Amino acid sequence: MKCGYLPTEIFGRLRKNNPSPYDFLINLGDEQLIGASPEMYVRVDGREVETSPISGTVRRGGSPMKDAEQILTLLSSKKDESELTMCTDVDRNDKSRVCRPGSVKLVGRRMVESYSKLFHTVDHVKGELLEGYDLFDAFLTHMWTCTMTGSPKPIAMQTIEDLENSPREWYSGCVGLFTFNGQLNTGVTIRTVQLRDKVATVRAGATLLFDSVPVEEEKETRLKAEAFLNAVTLEDYTPDKRFRPLGKMPTGKRVLFVDCQDSFVHTLANYVRQTGVEVITLRAGFKPEKMDEIKPDLVFLSPGPKTPRDQQVPEVVGEAVKRNLPVFGVCLGHQGIAEYFGAELGVLPEPMHGKESLVHHNEKGIFSGIHDPFLGGRYHSLYVKPETVPDCLEVTAKTEDGVIMALQHKTLKIASVQFHPESILTLQDDIGIKIIANVIEQLTK
């Protein structure tokens, strides 16, 4: 593609947006190479020779939770595992020509490396050079890496010669340095922009196996080239935003946050503060008269250990109702609200601690604008028995197996959720903070 930008501009863009182990800018007079290669070709330090074959690729998810899902997908792929296995077995064979018998070791298997657009799986192999061999022998025995050629190498390279309709030029070679004290450090020339006569060339490829899917391999090559095409066109780089400002929220409101001695209260209170309201925190067990002093627009009941009665949650709900104050509860707070109005609690067959569930809801009230269903994080052993829910309370959300996840009073400004909006398991699409924003907006009107 045509490119009117300086090599230094492209290099700076790559350094900022896609840092890699082997970043380089090489001026060859009539052409320049600008690269950010993730893959070590050969490194020699003293008698030790090492390589890090890369094979296995998946796109990043756009958020830490989705990244985790993508990594699991990559590590679960038998096809990607087979790719890397072949490349590493060939790499070990290359070393065995010049390394001391028994010294060639696999020291890292399917390690995940992170880059701006993707994840790779990487192996790490080391060996000890035999007497009589040096860094140049280590360099030559790996020429060229199996991740770029395939296997068996002689036939694979002849196939490349027969099938590819243009020379690879610098692509799939290596770039690096050797020193006079016997050290060598080189990276494979992939993820490289070749700039000549104001024309930028970006090459990318993928490892093909019998069970490869052509369309998926094509997508992979485009994914690998994406950061480099962006650098050449100087398109805006938009990193994942960890904080997204909420829309117009009530100002001048005050929330009494009741701390039931849980280990998530600060995160939850932080979510409430993000809506722009003032938060005053009191430990459970405070005198009811404090409500008259504080004059809150909402009483927020936190999660906590033990039972709602142990933390006097139903009593707090009663005092708030006497004063016609809106109430919202999470987990233990949810259970305490249910108990105050006459529902009974049961014990789950198994604790749901640090586990996620699909939450189905009515898309109304505090769930306005929230897609149905969503993933919610759970930390509880107690639950509200559905058959005991009084007529004054409406069940507004459930899990797929029928466990109540949210309640709404039919006439009072009182609502609750069993799941944890502040958990990382409820981070997807900012569901947690959006629900808290709905709570503040609707219950403090």
Active site residues: 331, 420, 422
Q: How many CB atoms lie within 10 A of CB 317?
A: 26
Burial class (CB in 10 A: 0-12, 13-18, 19+), 174: buried
| DSSP notation for 218-253 | HHHHHHHHHHHHHHHHTPPP-PPPS-----S---S-
Query: Tokens representing 435?
Result: 């629900």
Question: Phi-psi category of 432—alpha, beta or left, where left has phi over 0 and alpha has psi -120 to 50?
Answer: alpha
User: What does the alpha-carbon distance between residue 252 and residue 218 come to, in Å, rounded to a whole number?
Assistant: 55
The DSSP 8-state label assigned to residue 307 in this structure reads: -
Q: Is 286 helix (H, G, I), strand (E, B) or coil?
A: coil
Give the span between the Cα atoms of 173 and 192, in whole angstroms.
11
Closest CA to 400 of 424, 374, 423: 374
Residue the block writes with tokens 């395939």: 150
DSSP 429: G
Structure tokens at 140: 């030559």
